[in-house]
Amino acid sequence: MPVLVSPGVYVLERDISLYAPELAMSIFGLVTTASKGPVNELTLVTDVGTLEAIFGPPNLIHQGIYAAMKYLSTGRRLWVVRVTNYDVTAGDITIRNGAEAVDTLVVRPTSSGSWFNDVSILTRASAVAGRYNLSVLLDGLVIEKFENLLLGTAHTADPNYITTRINGVSPTVTVEILDATQTTLEVDTFVFAGGEDGAPVDDADIIGSIGDPPTIPSTGLCLFENPETLDLNLLAVPGVTSTNVINKIISVCETRGDCLAILAVPFGKTVQGAVNWHNGTGGGVDDPAAALNTSYAALYYPWLQIYDSLKDQLLWVSPEGHVASVIAHTDYVADPWHAPAGLERGLLRDVRDIEHSATQGERDYMYGPGHNVNPAINFAGQGFVIWGQKTLQRASTALDRVNVRRMLLYMRKVIATAARTLLFRPNDARTWRNFIRLVTPVCNDIQSRRGIYAFRVICDETTNTDVRIDRNEMHGRILIQPTKTAEIISIEFTLLPTGASFDEV
């Protein structure tokens, strides 16, 4: 309150309209190899066209691209990290002036990868004298065209100067002038060669390192570790099932505390093999040596067959992308605390077949006590569907289900985000009441949307003792009863004799 001395009208503003924000809950992050694109950088992708433009078309070597494409059919926020084992860029193309064979221009790919081996550069004289057209071709088809380009020192300030027109504009190539005095270009077709994907990759490439920012950046999965710099809800490395990578994915999700790992059983496993694998008794060199046990991850079986229209063939892909798509669809039509499974929300679209459709007995085995494998099955006349929603937590608590885990992830993120506004306020009863007023509407909203049965918010002298206050700590407690899903429906038929009263039964 300012000190008021002289007469006058003083207008003040006081904003007490604090509320908890609504946050997105199906933001997907994945690590993958690709045929092009930036390496070890977080790249936001919101549609399939952008995905292919940056990272190239899908390929069986690059399972993550198929997963990304499937997720983007329903989800809209995807973070991609491309990793490589070695970084090989297609060789530069040097173009001469034509008449005197003087090296005039260098054309370079914008990234490494084999995609550029199908790219060529076409130079032609323009209809305007002294100017040139430069086209970028993919498999012989023009994907970029720059017309009426100028060269020579007299034109460096002209908007049509070749470096001005191409560099920073073309997503595919950059150009460098070797001899600024030259004003002509050799007219021909030039082909890039020598680019490599850097795949397959080692576990170390996928896991990456934390680095030493800002001089040494993080790489691989380590790029996803900081929840303060990146909003994320789902994480996967599609098609990779080695113990080291799985442990790192789980570690990232547990450390962040706001993210669910989507894992898949390796290709070719039987039902028993899948159960043994996730229980640490698979026996393979890269298999888990102990049971996978965490509420921050869910495991799915089996692999799915899809049709690739670009290659006109059927392919087997790991299910992580389809699971992420189902989760995004669930968030869109319902809420994060609704199970991403079943005939209503768990349908797997664009799937031609699955490795194995587990029988009822096999599902009892996969989903029974101590086993946490979520199967996809084929219901005749209804399609392929995810038929389970267990996390990998082995203890029998509410957090052994995906819907409860995702509900709690949502609550933690929303309330923690809102509660930051209370930091550095006086640690007294007024701030405690502000905390309760901030949290209660969030819980009421989730309760009205069938996420919890009941709740209570406590922030008073019982949670904030003198010792805690002296340590500059404010403690709130939120008691919740999470909504459970109906995974087993029992129907009883009772036969009565003729004339019996139904009320008596």
Residue 220 is predicted with a pLDDT of: 96
Residue 481 is predicted with a pLDDT of: 97
Mean pLDDT calculated for residue range 135-163? 95
Model confidence at 412, in pLDDT bands (50, 70, 90)?
very high
Residue 436 is predicted with a pLDDT of: 96
Residue 22 is predicted with a pLDDT of: 73
How many residues can be counted in the chain? 505
Residue 134 is predicted with a pLDDT of: 97
Mean pLDDT calculated for residue range 225-238? 95
Whether the CB-CB separation of 303 and 355 falls below 8 Å is answered with yes
- Statement: residue 126 has pLDDT above 80: yes
Strands across the sheet with 132-138, in order?
A: 141-149, 132-138, 119-125, 189-191
Q: Which residue has the higher pLDDT, 458 or 100?
A: 458
Separation between Cα atoms, residue 173 and residue 292, nearest integer Å: 45
Mean pLDDT calculated for residue range 399-422? 94
Over residues 383-393, the pLDDT tens digits come to 999 999 999 99
Strand partners, 457: 478
| pTM of this structure | 0.91
Over residues 56-90, the pLDDT tens digits come to 999 889 999 999 999 999 999 999 999 999 989 99
Structure-token pair, residue 470: 């002296």
- Statement: residue 101 has pLDDT above 90: no
Model confidence at 8, in pLDDT bands (50, 70, 90)?
confident
- Phi, psi at 239, each rounded to 5°: 85, -5
Over residues 243-278, the pLDDT tens digits come to 999 999 999 999 999 999 999 999 999 999 999 999
Residue 1 is predicted with a pLDDT of: 60
Q: Which residue has the higher pLDDT, 236 or 215?
A: 236
Mean pLDDT calculated for residue range 128-142? 95
* HEC assignment per residue over 73-133: CCCCCEEEEECCCCCECCCCEEEECCCCCCEEEEEEECCCCHHHHHEEEEEEECCCCCCEE
- Statement: residue 2 has pLDDT above 70: no
Over residues 295-326, the pLDDT tens digits come to 999 999 999 999 998 888 999 999 999 999 99
Separation between Cα atoms, residue 82 and residue 66, nearest integer Å: 14
DSSP assigned state of 168? T
Structure-token pair, residue 282: 């698979």
Domains of the chain as residue ranges with CATH: 28-85+198-402 (3.40.50.11780), 93-191 (2.60.40.4290), 424-505 (no CATH)
Model confidence at 451, in pLDDT bands (50, 70, 90)?
very high
Whether the CB-CB separation of 474 and 434 falls below 8 Å is answered with no
Indicate the average pLDDT of the chain: 94
Write the CA distances from 301 to 77, 273, 353, 384, 444, integer angstroms: 25, 11, 13, 12, 36
Whether the CB-CB separation of 135 and 142 falls below 8 Å is answered with yes
Strand partners, 304: 317, 354
Separation between Cα atoms, residue 28 and residue 304, nearest integer Å: 20
Place of tokens 């909003």: 231
- Statement: residue 15 has pLDDT above 80: no
Place of tokens 């997105």: 24
Model confidence at 17, in pLDDT bands (50, 70, 90)?
confident
189-198, 210-219, 494-503: which range is least confident on average? 210-219
Separation between Cα atoms, residue 188 and residue 120, nearest integer Å: 10
